Each structure stands twice: as structure tokens, then as C-alpha cells.
Structure 1
Amino acid sequence: MSLKIGKKAPDFTLPSTSGNNFTLSKNCKGKACIVYFYPKDFTKVCTAEACDFRDQFGSFRNLDVPVIGISRDDIPTHIKFQKEYNLPFELLSDEKGNVCNAYDALIPLIRVPKRITYFLDREHVIRAAFSDMFESKAHVDEMIKVLQSEKTKKSTNS
């Protein structure tokens, strides 16, 4: 399950691998963005997903759409993960799981983040969500389809 399409995404502030706190409403003000939640750094599927986002990062950057990854890992672990796999986007640490919970991205009882990806428009309204715990590549593919669809809508409306 994910948050409802058309709903305003919850704002949040979390520590980032940039060394600063990341606040959605401040750091992505006026920008669409991809926010993806994942269970754990250095696990097989999470690594594949991060690398898929890395490999397709140019598609997101060319459209000025930041990618933000969030898990409950701490910042030192995120920094190692980011460096080892040359990830060109910020990873945020939600150690307490509050942001994961606000985005319906936390598995109850075991409190591990689900694998869920959101596309937020320029006003941070949720325009797409994709959830699949075991298929990492589909998250990136789905977001690229959404972005291509958004780009087509804009050019048709211009």
C-alpha cells in the first residue's frame, strides 16, 4: 500500500549524506522529485535498485528531477554505500522510521522500510507510486515512464 495519488506528500527533515539536513519543502522547493524508500544498504536487491537509479540518473537530471533515497541506515553506513557504488544522489537517514511511517513505507511489527517509490510534482503532490519488495529495476522503469508521460503532457499543453 502507498499514500494516495493526488495527496500532498508529508514534509520532512532528515540527515543527508551531503552533510546537511535535507528538508523536502526547502531542498526541492518548486521541483518535482523522486523519493524512494528501501530496506537496507548493501543488501542484494537494495544495491541493485540504487545502482539502477545511478545508471538512469542522467534521465532524471536532464529533467531537473532530484532522486532521494531513504532508509533507516545511519549516515556513516549511507556514506560508505554511496561511495562504494558511486551514487550521484543523496541518501537520507530515517533511523527512527518516522518519515517511512508517514509515507506508509514501514512494514508493521518489524519496522523495516518497504521498497516503495514516489514521484512528487512541483507542489509535492503525489503523482505516482510504485511498490514491489523484490523487483528493484521496475521502480526505476516505472518512474521513467511517469516522467516521459509528464513531459508529453507538458509539450501537448504548450
Structure 2
Amino acid sequence: MALKVGDRIPNFKAIDTKGDLFDSDTIIGKKAVVIYFYPKDNTRVCTEQACSFRDQYEDFKALGAEVIGISGDSLKSHIEFANKHQLPFILLSDSDKKIRKAFGVPNDYFGLVPGRTTYVADKNGIVQLIFDSTSGKIHIEKALEILKTM
């Protein structure tokens, strides 16, 4: 079942770019969060999206939100991607697609490409926005828009 607005973000664990085990319980239910799923490191649209989140990261922090990027890429790929583009937010490897499945993120392009979906949850962990678009930059605008109303 796909998450809907009003649902609580499920608990998940994954390895972050520091090699540490990230547990969503350390953030979910404590502060607002923007979790974005993207298809692949170092592709044009995914890089634009990540760099847009990077460039506006301080805006997210000022609104009390943490940003988490998730894709099926390996930890090694995420580390290189984060270092190359100086990404200040959390990147998680979901190589077994368990997190993607827990959220119910759909695939794009006739099921061939992992979907690009952003979830914004309030400080209680309740989903306030689900935005699904193949255009990367719009995700940042939509996430900031909803955070300003919370």
C-alpha cells in the first residue's frame, strides 16, 4: 500500500554516507522531514535535484526540517555523489528497495525506472505532502511551500 497524506512515515533503517546505520526514529516524530526518492546518482535530473536541495538546504533547516535523499544506489556511489556535489543532507542506500516498498513509491516510464517522489512530514511524522514528478527541481519548491504552512 502506498502512503497517503495523513499517514505516518514508517520506521526504516539504512546505511548513510558516513557508513553509520541511520534509524528514522531519530528524526521522524521529532522534527519536520523531507524524504525524497530519486532514480540514480550522477544522472542529469537527479544531480540537478540533489544540487537544488543542497542550494536551499539552509532554507529547509530554517523551517526546522531535515532532508533525506534515498535511492537504490550503493553506499560507495552515494559517498562519491555526496562528495562530488558537496551534499550536506542525509543520503541513504536502499539497494534492497525495502524503504521504497514501505512508502509505496511507484516506478516511472512503464515501470522501468525507479520513481521520483517527495514526501514532506510534519514534526509528528504525519505526511502532509506527496509529490510525484519526473522533474527534479519542482520537488524543492513544493516541499518549501508546504513547510512554510506547517
State TM-score, norm by structure 2: 0.92
* Alpha-carbon distance in 2 for matches of 1:13, 1:30: 16
CA distance in 1, matches of 2:74, 2:29: 25
* Structure 1 position 99 matched with structure 2 position 99: yes
Residue 124 in structure 1 maps to residue 121 in structure 2: no
Distance verdict in 2 for CA 1:35–1:129, change over 3 Å: same
- Pairwise CA distance, 1:63: 2.0
For residues 14-53 of structure 1, the aligned pairs below 5 Å read 14-53=14-53
Structure 1 residue ranges, 4+ long, deviating more than 4 angstroms after superposition: 108-112
In the superposition, the TM-score normalised over structure 1's length comes to 0.88
Which segment is superposed worse, 76-85 or 58-67? Answer: 58-67
Q: Which sections of structure 2, spanning at least 5 residues, go unmatched?
A: none
Distance 1:111 1:125, change over 3 A: farther
**Greater CA radius of gyration, 1 or 2?**
1
User: Which whole-Å CA distance do the structure 2 matches of 1:14 and 1:106 have between them?
Assistant: 20
Cα distance in structure 1, aligned partners of 2:65 and 2:90: 13
Supply the distance in 1 between the matched residues of 2:7 and 2:120 (Cα, whole angstroms).
12
Aligned length: 149
What secondary structure, in the 3-state scheme, does the structure 2 residue paired with 1:66 have? strand
* Uncovered stretches (5+) of structure 1, i.e. residues with no partner: 151-158
Identity %: 37
Structure ranking higher in strand proportion: 2
The 1:18–1:64 alpha-carbon spacing in structure 2 relative to 1, beyond 3 Å, is farther
Structure 2 counterpart of 1:72:
72
Q: Give the Å deviation of 1:37.
A: 0.2
RMSD of aligned Cα (Å): 1.9
SS of structure 2 residue aligned to 1:80: helix
Do the aligned partners of 1:97 and 1:111 also contact (CA within 8 Å) in 2? no
